Amino acid sequence: MATTVFSKLSKIFFLFAIYCALDPFKHSSISKYPDFQTFKIDMPPLSSLPKERDHENLLQNSEIKFLNEVQGPESIAFDPLGRGPYTGVADGRILFWDGTRWTDFAYTSNNRSELCDTKSSLLAYLKNEHICGRPLGLRFHKRTGDLYVADAYFGIMKVGPEGGLATSLTTEGDGVPLRFTNDLDVDDEGNVYFTDSSSVFQRRNFMHLIVSGEDTGRVLKYNPETKETTTLLRNLQFPNGLSLGKDGSFFIFCEGSIGRLRKYWLKGEKAGTSEVVALLHGFPDNIRTNKDGDFWVAVHCHRNIFTHVMAHHPNVRKFFLKLPITVKFQYLLQVGGWPHAVAVKYSKDGKVLKVLEDKQGKVVKAVSEIEEKDGKLWMGSVLMSFIAVYDLP
């Protein structure tokens, strides 16, 4: 045990040393935020994390689809007729696979220009996201066929089945502007439940948000009758994925920094209250419900001793952020070592039902969302330029 931890740490530091040597002057500066602060993250002890692992690395059996045709496909959705997938990509477009090719379906920015057509690295898109838009969570309304979009910069939007420019539903909640709208779900009446990951940091400064551990994240509700947006929960550290339960009596969302699933009751005697239902293996992203009412949670990496120490020592995190290394390497350091995808299926009560991994990150390095459809898992990621498809046995 001690030796494996040691070898992991030495691997990290070895790579770190090489990276510093090769790439010393690309500062991920914190000077933009003179008041930048880091906070303790109350991460549960490693011993309490789920024990279930996938020692067969089953995710390595995934098929890589659409390689280099989609950049950073975070969320994946199929319309009520089963067509798709639809996905939001790094340049701000929402694309539709019509069975033979990708077409532009919709977009969220009314101010797109050649700026949005950068064809370089995934990280290069970050620079213009606030102009081009960045569609994250996507959901179809089953009856109307409208597509609901959580755009990281433009808030909650909606676009009809014919696509085009999405219209804004809300950009604030209780008077506080949405800063990093992340994921959403919509019920039959058109109520939208969604997460705003931070009131301070935008997505293009996600590294600051991760390092900071600040708690201005919220879970909100948009009511289509009153057109009002209200805050259901506040003071959350990086809330991320959100999904309604099959019967609509609750939703479950991820608390990113701490790494756990929380259930919020909408109906019944516990309505308006919430409870922690599960701890997660690592740093979570989106959640999607399958036809049985179970939840697939996308997790980046496993927590290890290193991430644990970082969580409890805000000053160490701040020190690392000041190091002259690229965002890419910051991410490895701060999120937890070697990138590898973990897909975990939870019951509605938070029991682990299945774990699928690619520990070496050989095929699926990262995963942002897992959408189950007809016995297949469709996996997108903001860090990949393909969609991975896994056949369930």
How would you classify the pairing of strands 147-151 and 155-159?
Answer: antiparallel
Exposed, middle or buried by CB within 10 Å (0-12, 13-18, 19+), for 331? buried
Q: What distance lies between CA 385 and its chain's CA centroid? A: 16
131 in contact with ligand NAG (CB under 6 A): yes
Applying CB under 6 A, does 113 fall inside the site for ligand NAG?
Answer: yes
Nearer Cβ to ligand NAG (10/113)? 113
Work out the number of other CB atoms within 10 angstroms of the CB of residue 309.
Answer: 13
Nearer to ligand NAG, 135 or 380 (CB): 135
The distance of Cα 378 from the centroid of its chain, to the nearest Å, equals: 15
Cα distance between residue 232 and residue 230, in whole Å: 6
Longest dimension (CA), the chain: 59
CB of 108 to ligand NAG, least distance (A): 12
d(CA 97, CA 313): 45
316 binds ligand NAG (CB under 6 A): no
The residue behind tokens 């390595």 is 60
Question: Do the strands 164-165 and 102-107 form a parallel or antiparallel pair, or are they unpaired?
Answer: parallel
15 binds ligand NAG (CB under 6 A): no
127 lies in the site for ligand NAG, by CB under 6 A: no
How near is the Cβ of 94 to ligand NAG at its closest, in Å? 19
User: According to the binding rule CB under 6 A, does residue 276 interact with ligand NAG?
Assistant: no
Which one, 118 or 223, has the nearer CB to ligand NAG?
118
* Window of 14-22, 60-68, 109-117, 172-180 that interacts with ligand NAG by CB under 6 A: 109-117
Q: Is 212 helix (H, G, I), strand (E, B) or coil?
A: helix
111 binds ligand NAG (CB under 6 A): yes
Closest to ligand NAG by CB, 111 or 120: 111
Whether a cis peptide bond, with omega within 30° of 0, leads into 324 is: no
Q: Is residue 115 a contact residue for ligand NAG (CB under 6 A)?
A: yes
Q: Using CB under 6 A, count the residues that bind ligand NAG.
A: 4
Instruction: Sort strands 167-170 and 176-177 into parallel, antiparallel or unpaired.
Output: unpaired
171 touching ligand NAG, by CB under 6 A: no
Task: Pick the piece of the chain touching ligand NAG (CB under 6 A) from 110-118, 181-189, 245-253, 296-304.
Answer: 110-118
From 48-56, 111-119, 302-310, 378-386, give the range in contact with ligand NAG by CB under 6 A: 111-119
User: What is the spatial distance between Cα 216 and Cα 344, in angstroms, rounded to a whole number?
Assistant: 27
In the complex, which residues of this chain contact ligand NAG (CB under 6 A)?
111, 113, 115, 131
